[in-house]
Amino acid sequence: MVTPIEDELKAKIEAALFMSSEAITLRQIAKIVGRRSEIVARAIHELKETLHDSHRGVYLIENSQGYQLRVKPEFVSIVRPLTPYQDLSRGLLRVLALIAYKQPITQSEVVKVIGNRGYAYVKKLESRGLIGTIKQGRTKALVATKEFANYFGLEDVNDLRKFFEDMAGGEVSETGINQPGSNVPSEGTEESS
């Protein structure tokens, strides 16, 4: 039988995961809720099972960075207008589009298109698990990851190219997303990430 304390613990964990735009480690969650890691790990497992229910709109994932709530793929298209990837800057989206469209693409090719900011963008995308890198000579080959597909609510990494074409109104060039009337930063434009 589930006690109210266990329900309250799961509710606190769910609230913490909901509020965070990035993955949270087990240690961080335990500190937030003020409980031992072993107890929190059990509660996370139970929460994951509860969220797996087909009547829920989100699910819980665990990746190399920790735990995170995500919208179930079947609901992404419904809620996409509410938050069109606001946690990613235009520059990061541009690099993602470029990688998705041309993968595998070398880091040096990205830098040629984006400029020196490309290094920082690649590092940030890699740390978030959205892209993977493979050492290729003196540079890196960049590819989209399953996490990338999950982030955009896609079933498979192979759907990414079509997704970015649709997102850009059918216009994706070798330099990334080109939307008529959009202010996609060019190489010389300062962009925060």
pLDDT tens readout for residues 48-68:
999 987 789 999 988 878 999
pLDDT of residue 88: 80
Task: Give residue-wise pLDDT tens across range 119-128.
Answer: 999 998 998 8
DSSP state of 189: S
pLDDT of residue 2: 55
Mean pLDDT for 110-120 is 91
pLDDT of residue 167: 60
Q: Is the pLDDT of residue 174 over 60?
A: no
**Which residue segments constitute the domains of the chain, with CATH numbers given?**
4-71 (1.10.10.10), 90-177 (1.10.10.10)
Q: Is the pLDDT of residue 39 over 90?
A: yes
Task: Give residue-wise pLDDT tens across range 88-97.
Answer: 888 888 898 8
pLDDT of residue 160: 67
Check residues 79 and 186 and name the one with the higher pLDDT.
Answer: 79
143 CB-near residues (< 8 Å, 6+ apart) = 99, 103, 104, 131, 132, 133, 134, 157
Q: How far is CA 152 from the centre of its chain?
A: 7
Alpha-carbon span 24 to 8, nearest angstrom = 19
Using an 8 Å Cβ cutoff, are 94 and 177 in contact? yes
